[in-house]
Structure 1
């Protein structure tokens, strides 16, 4: 059986009294209690009419309830749908049109979305997650698990749609199991370990490995604005050995620790990904967690992880080369292709593909292939932009520019769409931004072409003592100007990736003022 719920149930049998999840207000839920609650919830959903293949839209923050619901849906062979409500009404409507949900499971607050969304109002079955929710009531459940295959759909998420319509990424039970095995290997997940976890997919990996997930008691939808004091208190109480979070989350935590002169000695590993992990953050994390390895993880929605870098204590000063993300993991194939972003790719033979692959040191598109790389989007919508086949092997175009050095390490140079090509030549964003981010006073940096000029925009967390030093360090980039902005727009999910289109709008508005 390939049902992901089976491996979760197995952990409940091995470690029934071990703590699976610690969430808000120090509430602790054991593996056996989590599994029993999922069995009861699956029975109640089945009685309400949810069957294998039905889609259920879920609006629930990271908590024990979220994983009870998720495991219950897996047990039934139903499909869990997740979308970002903060993306707005248009995004919600488009996502709901891509895949029709039979049921909605949401918090009381999330049910207010029914007032603005006709698509959500049309969902036939609706459940409210609350202390009195009927979903979780005990029932004489059988506990049977749907006999899923490798290809049985399990989890559907949507891209942001920032460059057009959102794409639907369907993960099957087999895909989730494969991804779990890769994450287990590279996160070194072991039973009894406590992991500070901020990203939903990693809690699933923890549950499948007997690891305790410590979920921060803060708003994880805004990692760049968390109440760091609350998180530090949880860390001091539960002493996690590892942590996984976006750079924005770790920046807030490191800033608070340094202000108060605190260190976090329990950490042995700190993983950061989902956005660029610059050297300045690595140094700050090494200072507040002196016993920990700091590991930068490069990946994407479609391929997680792709590469990882275990940062040495002495970091080389080579930011002008871009952002080093380490070596590709063994489970993935990675190539650098001649940059053709925006043009669909097709290769009739492996030889034709090989001719487009670049040697070490040359910059191009990063493309990946592997069993934990999403092979396509729902109904093929979006495949022509980011997928291509070479002799039955499916490849994914990450949309990132980079190169491999002579030691096989991958260096990122920014998004293909953010690359600047003008009369001065080619300018790669990360080659500039990585240097700017070496200055501790810089919170965000973005290089952009605006009205024919190369601009470096900075958001500062404290005044730079001398901009002339930065000018000299970037003399080779032939910048027209360095602008200080009160805020540089970043992505909503991780609060760390530069939103270049939004930045263009800000600059345009400033030009008119």
Structure 2
């Protein structure tokens, strides 16, 4: 759906329609509590009416920084119904970063809970905006008291597709997070294409990633908009996930690769009835071919990997169950997506370029960010226009398309190591490391080198019970790499630093190596 589509229906209106059509159908489940569509819709109405009562205008903004809860979902939906932009923020960030994000977003209300209040260390007063406690705690104005009366209805708002739906702050794996403006039209396009993934009124989607993550929202909103049920987890735990999947007869799930790995390794996996699954999705981090093969072999239902960015633009889809010979790829571009490759000078690679010639991936689709909030220069850096003026979003990833049109990723452009004038892709080295039977996880980063400019080093997590030595592993892998790829060092780690959706924080690894004695 384009921002000017005449078929545009605001997401909150879709939920309102579901409440009228099937009011008693469960909408959101968390722990032992279940809220039906009628109740969720009334709660969203009260949020919208409260915002309007407080003078928060359409196209204003609120920030939510809290743990997963049903009230969080209702507050998000209610804000959208009032035409208000939502900035969902991670409670795990340090207070200074959170303060900067709230101020950058322009939020005039901050919705928090007791855990966030403790993490903020009293910075709420410095923000100078009212704080509302979603859990009715001492963290702010109690949510129940702040809400408009039980049967309040908000004034209708003519939401436009180019208005800002939410501000998703980038994960910050490579620098200071930027607010990504996703318009209402972009989110609506997510709902439209979700039907291709089997979403509908009989969907039961189990979501275990945080509500501030785009990974979660791309499944949450389509499920609710199409009349399905969302089962939420406060925090991911593989054993609890399996118990919930069996109990609720889950049909859909969105997971990141490290979660698939932990679920498959759990002792209850083999004895858990997962026959209700129809679709499993994966996104947000590299998904190894070996792990995809395990999921296909051991877990019922289709497996679909999505490759794309929170910023939107290009999106690839690998239906792994239909293409088991393409597990080393991230699939083909989606039908509504135009993806191209650029050379180092930002020029499009010609059609007659060698099939395996890598380039930076750029993409255009109906789902594209408006830009980075308050960062026009950064927005311009993220855009590329073809000769006709068509707008593309730069991914920062390097890859190429095989003869069948499947995209093979090589690495993040910023993670590429340039050593002695040669381009080294860390993912190639990581793939070799993971072939060793004693290695469970691995990450490779480039560090400064007086001789080569940069040189690759590896951080490795051993399999449980393995006793391999770092020196022996270094010799083993270097014996299998090309000369220019060889590692300068290999360090053993208890675990790799990851953000909440499973991306390895390579910047932290570089800093860690720099602090090593």
TM over 0.5: yes
* TM-score grouping bracket, smaller chain normalisation: 0.7 to 0.9
Structure 1 residue 275, shift from structure 2 partner: 0.5
CA distance in 2, matches of 1:180, 1:439: 41
Any residues of structure 2 matched to 1:273-312 within 5 Å, and which?
A: 273-289=283-299, 291-303=300-312, 306-312=315-321
What's 1:349 paired with? none
Contact kept? 1:56, 1:104, Cα under 8 Å? yes
Q: Deviations over 1:217-252 (max 9, x none)?
A: x42xxxxxx322211111111111121111122222
**1:370 aligns with one of 361, 365, 368:** 365
Contact kept? 1:57, 1:101, Cα under 8 Å? yes
CA distance in 2, matches of 1:464, 1:359: 44
Any residues of structure 2 matched to 1:99-498 within 5 Å, and which?
A: 99-117=105-123, 121-130=126-135, 133-136=144-147, 138-182=149-193, 184-198=194-208, 199-216=216-233, 218-219=234-235, 226-257=236-267, 262=272, 264-289=274-299, 291-303=300-312, 306-312=315-321, 315-316=324-325, 323-340=328-345, 353=348, 360-379=355-374, 380-390=376-386, 391-423=388-420, 425-439=422-436, 441-450=438-447, 451=449, 452=452, 453-462=455-464, 463=466, 467=473, 470-474=477-481, 478-480=485-487, 483-487=490-494, 489-495=496-502, 497-498=503-504
Contact kept? 2:355, 2:402, Cα under 8 Å? yes
In the superposition, the TM-score normalised over structure 2's length comes to 0.85
CA distance in 2, matches of 1:414, 1:300: 14
CA distance in 2, matches of 1:403, 1:61: 39
Judged with a 3 Å threshold, the aligned counterparts in structure 2 of structure 1 residues 115 and 277 are, in CA distance, closer, same or farther, namely same
Structure 1 residue 364, shift from structure 2 partner: 1.1
In the superposition, the TM-score normalised over structure 1's length comes to 0.86
Contact kept? 1:272, 1:297, Cα under 8 Å? yes
What's 1:47 paired with? 53
Judged with a 3 Å threshold, the aligned counterparts in structure 2 of structure 1 residues 40 and 279 are, in CA distance, closer, same or farther, namely same
Judged with a 3 Å threshold, the aligned counterparts in structure 2 of structure 1 residues 7 and 336 are, in CA distance, closer, same or farther, namely same
SS at match of 1:324: coil
Query: Which deviates more, 279-288 or 477-486?
Result: 477-486
Judged with a 3 Å threshold, the aligned counterparts in structure 2 of structure 1 residues 499 and 336 are, in CA distance, closer, same or farther, namely same
Contact kept? 2:305, 2:320, Cα under 8 Å? yes
Contact kept? 1:364, 1:402, Cα under 8 Å? yes
Structure 1 residue 370, shift from structure 2 partner: 1.4
Q: Deviations over 1:271-293 (max 9, x none)?
A: 1111011123223323441x222
SS at match of 1:367: strand
Query: Which deviates more, 475-484 or 272-281?
Result: 475-484
Measured on the aligned residues, the alpha-carbon RMSD in Å equals 2.9
What's 1:11 paired with? 18
CA distance in 2, matches of 1:329, 1:38: 33
* Structure 1 unaligned residues grouped into runs of 5+: 220-225, 346-351
CA distance in 1, matches of 2:129, 2:463: 48
SS at match of 1:50: coil
Structure 1 residue 483, shift from structure 2 partner: 2.0
SS at match of 1:37: helix
CA distance in 2, matches of 1:425, 1:121: 49
* Structure 2 unaligned residues grouped into runs of 5+: 1-7, 137-141, 209-215
Contact kept? 1:338, 1:358, Cα under 8 Å? no
Query: Which deviates more, 185-194 or 458-467?
Result: 458-467
Structure 1 residue 157, shift from structure 2 partner: 2.0
For these two proteins, the number of residue pairs brought into alignment is 485
What's 1:20 paired with? 27
Structure 1 residue 113, shift from structure 2 partner: 4.8
Contact kept? 1:420, 1:449, Cα under 8 Å? yes
Contact kept? 1:280, 1:439, Cα under 8 Å? no
Structure 1 residue 80, shift from structure 2 partner: 1.1
CA distance in 2, matches of 1:491, 1:309: 24
Judged with a 3 Å threshold, the aligned counterparts in structure 2 of structure 1 residues 110 and 300 are, in CA distance, closer, same or farther, namely same
